[in-house]
Amino acid sequence: MARAFIKLTVTEKAERSIRAGHPWVYAEEVVSASDEAPDGSLVDVYSRKDRYLGTGFFNSASLIRVRLLSENANDRFDDEFFRRRIRWCIDYRRTVMGEDWSCCRVIFGEADRFPGLTVDRFEDVLVTQVLSLGFEKKKERLYDALITVFSEYGVRIRAICERNDVAIRLKEGMEEGKGFYNDPRLDPDFDGKLIITENGIKYEIDVLNGQKTGYFLDQKYNRRAAARLAPGRRVLDCFTHTGAFALNCALAGAEHVTAVDISADAIAQTRRNTELNGLAERMDFVTADVFDLLTGMEQAKKCPYDYIILDPPAFTKSRGTVQSAIKGYKAINAKAMKLLPRGGYLATCSCSHFMTNELFRKMLSEAAESAGVRLRQIEERQQAPDHPILWGVPETDYLKFYLFQVV
């Protein structure tokens, strides 16, 4: 049976981008349409020479006019299509994460061919974020597919928490909100709080009220790498959030770890996680602005640490603020480099896609020059493989992580 999707014709620029692997068609790249497409519906995308390029979700309210779901003209977007795609995602995680797939990102949007969709797994709880109107309209079928496919792998899903409390949904013509998906197969009494284990460390997380989807999974193996340098050292973990880097270092045998965050709630959470793991004797906690704290130590010419970890939130979320973000990254890294003794260690990162690796490396070089030190690189790392980088889609490449010795 022939498909009855509305046909959109796009520019040569869009055609080149799609053929190179990028799954978006921007508003200005649409040349014509065979009819008026309902927002959230599937449309077929064609070149000016009438060559089929792909099928995706249409949204007239978005600058991203089409988010491509497939480039296969034979695909039928029924329940089995989505179940098959979910199986691919799970099989990939089981391969690259091994036992760690019990807590991982199961679906990473465009990188997994689920444009505008994020699904994190925390044991038997799934946390979703929907940024695509097409998936918003199909989410009941999608959630049914998730519950069904996980059961095929012996995992009974207890709850699905929707974390759609992000402003970008407004730009897509959707409302913000959060809550639990109702389904008779799920636990109606789940309150969003649970304990997970990562790298042998237990964390109390709140998937309903915590940041993002409740916990940052992308630094899983970077925390492990950072911890290898920690034995016998005095560590300052800046922007600690839930204390993940700090706890990894303490468990690895650091002499002492100080966890710092401007949020009192984050510090309270870190305290609870520290007690949960029996590491309270190795740690202390400071509620402070990291810039102010480092500046104070610089002015006092006193730094009791020989290992500093910088894991700040994204300083830029758009191209227009990159230059001011660079100044912020440079200031904080230069302060840390200057405070560390010769032979000390620095872990530093950026989670902003717009702060490219080239810009980040240039910033680090300038920060080292400003601090009057040289950097000996130990490792250059990226996000964990459950957040795969899809070549041709630069937006999927966002996390930069470096380990240095200051010499």
What's the CATH code, domain 79-195? 3.30.750.80
| Domains of the chain by residue range | 6-70, 79-195, 218-406
CA distances from 294 to 33, 166, 281, 299 (A): 57, 31, 24, 9
Average pLDDT, the chain: 95
Structure-token pair, residue 23: 């799954």
DSSP β-bridge partners for residue 105 = 120
State how far the Cα of 138 lies from the Cα of 95, in Å rounded to an integer.
28
DSSP element (H, E) containing 31? strand 30-33
DSSP letters, 328-390, are HHHHHHHHHHHHSPTT-EEEEEE--TTS-HHHHHHHHHHHHHHHT--EEEEEEE-S-TTS---
Clarify whether 249 is annotated catalytic.
Answer: no
- pLDDT range class, residue 248, cuts 50, 70, 90: very high
pLDDT tens digits, residue range 334-386?
A: 999 999 999 999 999 999 888 999 999 999 999 999 999 999 999 999 999 99
What is the structure's pLDDT at 3? Answer: 67
Position 214 confidence tier, pLDDT thresholds 50, 70, 90: confident
- Closest CA relative to residue 208, chosen from 159, 146, 275: 159
Torsion (CA) 198, 356, 162, 57 in degrees, nearest 10: -140
202 pLDDT higher than 50: yes
Model pLDDT, residue 19: 96
Q: Residue 1: pLDDT band by 50, 70, 90 thresholds?
A: very low
**pLDDT score of 200 more than 50:** yes
* pLDDT, mean of residues 186-198: 96
Q: What is the pLDDT of residue 213?
A: 85
Q: Is the pLDDT of residue 2 over 60?
A: no
Please name the helix (run of DSSP H) or strand (run of DSSP E) that holds residue 164, with its range, or none: strand 159-164
Check pLDDT > 80 for residue 399.
yes
Superfamily the domain 6-70 falls into: PUA domain (2.30.130.10)
Catalytic residue among 103, 104, 349, 351: 351
Residues 113-149 have pLDDT tens digits of: 999 999 999 999 999 999 999 999 999 999 999 999 9
- Is 90 exceeded by the pLDDT of residue 318? no
Q: Which residues pair with 213 in a beta bridge?
A: none
Check if 6-70 and 79-195 are the same fold: no
Residue 293: predicted pLDDT? 95
Q: What is the CATH number of domain 218-406?
A: 3.40.50.150
Residue 246: predicted pLDDT:
98
* pTM, entire model: 0.94
